[in-house]
Amino acid sequence: MKNINQAEWQELIANDSQAVILDVRTPGECAEGIQANAQMIDFLDQPSFMASIKELDTSKNYYIYCRSGNRSGQACQILDNMGVQSTYNLTGGMVAWTGETVAP
């Protein structure tokens, strides 16, 4: 897992054809807006979260964010333990995000 800031996040995603963006916030938090092309998987709903991540392609690169960066860091560690090659945690999460968001 690598912790990266918003500028690094945007640059890496723009140049990564294997990028998958995961929003691990709750549905209520996601209703405030998500990043473009993000898949929503609620980290706090652990049974659903674990079932969803088992379906992920471990060869892809996962860019994970949450509200503040705590849950996404934990999610990155879980994916790392599952054999995912590259996980990136957005430091500061959506609290620090100043980029564009879209409706879920």
Q: What CATH number has the domain bearing residue 57?
A: 3.40.250.10
Q: Could you tell me if residue 104 is inside a domain?
A: no
Rounded CA-CA distance 53/61 in Å is 13
pLDDT band at 10 (very low <50, low <70, confident <90, very high): very high
Cross-strand bridge partners of residue 88: 2, 63
Q: What is the Cα Rg of the chain in Å?
A: 12
Cross-strand bridge partners of residue 70: none
Q: Could you tell me if residue 48 is inside a domain?
A: yes
Q: How many domains does the chain have?
A: 1
Q: What is the pLDDT of residues 33-86, one digit of tens each?
A: 999 999 999 999 999 999 999 999 999 999 999 999 999 999 999 999 999 989
Q: Could you tell me if residue 43 is inside a domain?
A: yes
Q: Is the pTM of this model over 0.85?
A: yes
Residue type, 93: G
Question: Domain of 8?
Answer: 2-98
Strand order in the sheet with 38-40: 2-4, 86-90, 61-65, 19-23, 38-40
Residue 22 confidence (pLDDT):
98
Q: Could you tell me if residue 103 is inside a domain?
A: no
